[in-house]
Amino acid sequence: MPERTGEHTITLSGRPRVLGYASAVGKKEGEGPLGGGFDIVFDDARLGEKTWEKAESRLQKEALNRALDKAGYSPSQVQVLFTGDLLNQNIASTFGMRETNIPLLNQFGACSTMAQTLCLASLFVDSGAADVAAAVTSSHFCTAERQFRFPLEYGGQRTPTAQWTVTGAGSVLVGMGGNGVRIAAVCIGRIVDMGIQDMNNMGAAMAPAAADTLLRFLKDTGTQPDDYDFIATGDLGSEGSALFKMMMAQEGQKIGDNHFDCGLLIYDMETQDVHAGGSGCGCSASVLCSHILGGMEQGRWKNGLFMATGAMMSPTSSQQGESIPGIAHLIHLQCD
């Protein structure tokens, strides 16, 4: 049963479990430092589909199907699906999940969506609203570039603070059985907007939201950053990670070596030319569904925080002079 803890945290007293998880990524991600840990690596950015958008849908489908296979479940056993992506009107999710026949609630939290979908899937299971729920999110470099920035053919130069949208998807199946990683608590983010207007510096726009959510969670639970084996941020990148640590330090909470950022892990920062790191719904999703959950299963970590961050602007809002609102949702993961 979900229980309010402090002002903002929701403790899941039944501590639902990860029944299965899987990641599907593109070639560049497969060549990165985490490459060996992904379930599926595609060599072709189109995955054999006619368009990049259909390829992104396919990434979601592959990630969900593999997670179901690994858990030994069929789609008909999943009672609700929480999905999300960066595309207008969430089409990667809608078209990717169209044939599953599973009741569906599309989510939009920009790059924080993996945490948002996992939060809702876990709450549904803990409350009895579903026996089995799934969370699936994706992003694709080519669909994101043409929608948010420039046509790829234009060959635009990237600024040093720009991030590289991950081509990838992750899927987590949540239920009460088995012996998988547990979801112990969630803390839902609120919008934090410090006035950053540079669409090529998302890390700076999201860092204050990450600090806001983590500070609220630590206060609610009476814990400190070094009580956790890891604190994983989604895709703050190099700029955002430095700002996040600085803002936490200003509040008297030192973030130590137990912090890592999914966007800084997924690519080789020296050789893969991704500037400030990886980003996108598929960044934290594919790292959660390989490195993080895999590491917990293998006993590397027992108690950690997964906090995906999102920049909630659109090209229209930026053209209209709006700043970039950030958000961060936190999931507390535990082994038995």
Are 285 and 168 a contacting pair, CB within 8 Å?
yes
**Is residue 312 involved in binding a copy of itself (CB under 8 A)?**
yes
Sole window of 66-74, 98-106, 195-203, 254-262 interacting with a copy of itself (rule: CB under 8 A) = 98-106
**Is residue 196 involved in binding a copy of itself (CB under 8 A)?**
no
Name which of 194, 206, 192 is nearest 163 in CA terms.
206
Are 190 and 212 a contacting pair, CB within 8 Å?
yes
Smallest gap from Cβ 331 to a copy of itself, in A, equals 13
Which residue number, 238 or 284, has a Cβ lying nearer to a copy of itself? 284
Name which of 138, 172, 216, 176 is nearest 68 in CA terms.
172
**Binders in 139-158 for a copy of itself, by CB under 8 A:** 147
In one letter, which amino acid is 191? I
**Is residue 129 involved in binding a copy of itself (CB under 8 A)?**
yes
**Is residue 211 involved in binding a copy of itself (CB under 8 A)?**
no
**Is residue 234 involved in binding a copy of itself (CB under 8 A)?**
no
CA angle 181, 98, 119 (to 5 degrees): 30
Smallest gap from Cβ 256 to a copy of itself, in A, equals 27
**Is residue 197 involved in binding a copy of itself (CB under 8 A)?**
no
CA angle 268, 168, 71 (to 5 degrees): 115
Are 259 and 224 a contacting pair, CB within 8 Å?
no
The two three-digit tokens of residue 86, written as one number: 């960066």
**Is residue 110 involved in binding a copy of itself (CB under 8 A)?**
yes
Which residue number, 179 or 197, has a Cβ lying nearer to a copy of itself? 197
Are 136 and 169 a contacting pair, CB within 8 Å?
yes
Please give the Cα distance from 327 to 250 (Å, whole number). Answer: 19
**Is residue 33 involved in binding a copy of itself (CB under 8 A)?**
no
Smallest gap from Cβ 35 to a copy of itself, in A, equals 30
Which residue number, 82 or 230, has a Cβ lying nearer to a copy of itself? 82
The per-residue b/e assignment along 297-330, b for 16 or more CB within 10 angstroms, e otherwise, is eeeebebbbbbbbbbbbeeeeeeeeeebbbbbbb
User: Out of 34, 63, 67, 120, which residue is the one contacting a copy of itself (CB under 8 A)?
Assistant: 120
Which residue number, 75 or 225, has a Cβ lying nearer to a copy of itself? 75
**Is residue 194 involved in binding a copy of itself (CB under 8 A)?**
no
Interacting residues toward a copy of itself by CB under 8 A: 1-4, 8, 10, 50-51, 53-54, 79-80, 86-91, 94-95, 97-98, 100-110, 116, 119-120, 123-124, 126-131, 147, 188-191, 193, 312-317, 320, 322, 325, 327
